Chain A
Amino acid sequence: MDRLKIATVWLGGCSGCHMSLLDLDEWLFELAKVADVVYGPLVDTKEYPAAADVCLVEGAVANTEHVELMHQIRQRTRVLVAFGDCAVTGNVTALRNPLGSAAPVLERAYLDPANLRPALPHEPGVVPPLLDRVLPLQEAVPVDFYLPGCPPPADRIKAFLQELLAGKAPHLTGANLRFG
Chain B
Amino acid sequence: MPQWIKIDPVTRIEGHAKITLQLDDNGHVSDARFHVVEFRGFEKFCEGRPFTEMPGITPRVCGICPVSHVLASAKAGDALLAVDIPPAARKLRRLMNLGQILQSHALSFFHLSAPDLLLGWETPPVNGTSSG
**Residues of chain A at the chain B interface (Cβ within 8 Å):** 10, 12-20, 22, 28-29, 31-32, 36-38, 41-46, 62-63, 65, 91-93, 95-96, 99, 102, 104-106, 108-109, 112, 121, 123, 126-128, 130, 150-151
Contacts and interface: CB of A to CB of B under 8 A. Distances in A.
Given A14-B59, A46-B9, 10 more contacts: A14-B66, A19-B63, A19-B64, A36-B126, A63-B38, A104-B41, A105-B45, A106-B39, A106-B41, A126-B37
B35 A123 contact: yes
7 contacts: A14-B66, A16-B64, A19-B64, A22-B107, A46-B11, A105-B43, A127-B37
B44 interface: yes
Interface of B: 6, 8-9, 11-12, 14-16, 18, 20, 35, 37-41, 43-45, 47, 57, 59-64, 66, 107, 111-112, 115-116, 125-126, 128-131
A95 B45 contact: yes
A101 to B, nearest CB: 11
Given A15-B64, A16-B60, A45 B41 contact: no
B11 A96 contact: no
A94 to B, nearest CB: 9
Nearest to A16: B63
Contacts, number: 116
A43 B128 contact: yes
